[in-house]
Structure 1
């Protein structure tokens, strides 16, 4: 699997970080934070993984498209598409999409982002195949706010 998506990452260090990131997510540990993962190569540092996810240039949509095709073949034809949203509680207001809105995460109107996720599921397995950040009208109608959030890291 790693070899098939490696070409989506222009540099070797990013390929290694991607591999270490996926291995960490799949590791048999309770917490899913880089600090709790088993010790690994130097590429698995918190800073390196943050760079991969937030600063490095790679085509997330191309990786998603490959994974979606791979999963569809592996899970077989009897799959069901599941669409669901998840709220990410936020304290500030500068992250893209943050506003006061209902989220099932807290069960009330809260300051949060809403992520919408798609998954395929069959009797033999399941996998996430897409994701989008929900933007409320308060965001989509304020172009300057959108531009400012894009430039924050």
Structure 2
């Protein structure tokens, strides 16, 4: 997704993320969680924290601060992922009432070269 496409969805995305993260800790943590989701949605081959931080800021001088915020959100924050999953399930049930099963598999990634995990000779 390009920054322009993300901007067009900003209001709807903010509403959705608010419903997922409201009440889950300090406002700074919730804001970092919003940035993390936006970083995952933006174009870019690598979805690790460093490249995502670079895509989320306009000024390169702010990249390190954004990286630290994302790192703290992902590895240092004590928030209940069970609650987020519960809220997501309720949202999906409301939006897709006839669905019987939804499988999300985030384990796949394109293999490159001989150094990617799982690539044999």
TM bin, normalised by shorter chain, reads: 0.5 to 0.7
Q: Which runs of 5+ in 2 are unaligned?
A: 1-15, 109-116
Paired positions, count: 91
Alignment of 1:19-58 (within 5 A): 19-37=34-52, 38-40=55-57, 45-58=66-79
Distance 1:49 1:85, change over 3 A: closer
Cα separation, partners in 2 of 1:107 and 1:73, compared to 1, 3 Å:
farther
Deviation at 1:40, TM superposition (A): 2.4
Label 1:106 to 1:74 Cα distance change in 2 as closer, same or farther (>3 A): same
Query: Higher relative contact order by CA 8 Å / sep ≥ 6: 1 or 2?
Result: 2
Query: Hey, which bits of structure 1, 4+ residues long, moved more than 4 A?
Result: 41-44, 83-87
- Normalised by the length of structure 1, the TM-score is 0.48
Residue of structure 1 aligned with 2:118, choices 94, 106, 120:
106
As a proportion of its length, which structure holds more strand?
1
User: Structure 1 residues 75 and 107, CA, compared in 2 at 3 Å: closer, same or farther?
Assistant: farther
Deviation at 1:106, TM superposition (A): 2.4
TM-score by length of 2: 0.58
Residue segments in structure 1 that go unaligned for 5+ positions in a row: 88-104, 109-153
CA RMSD of superposed structures (Å): 3.1
Map 1:3-18 onto structure 2 (within 5 A). 3-18=18-33
CA 1:85–1:18 in 2, change beyond 3 Å: closer, same or farther? closer
Structure of higher CA gyration radius: 1
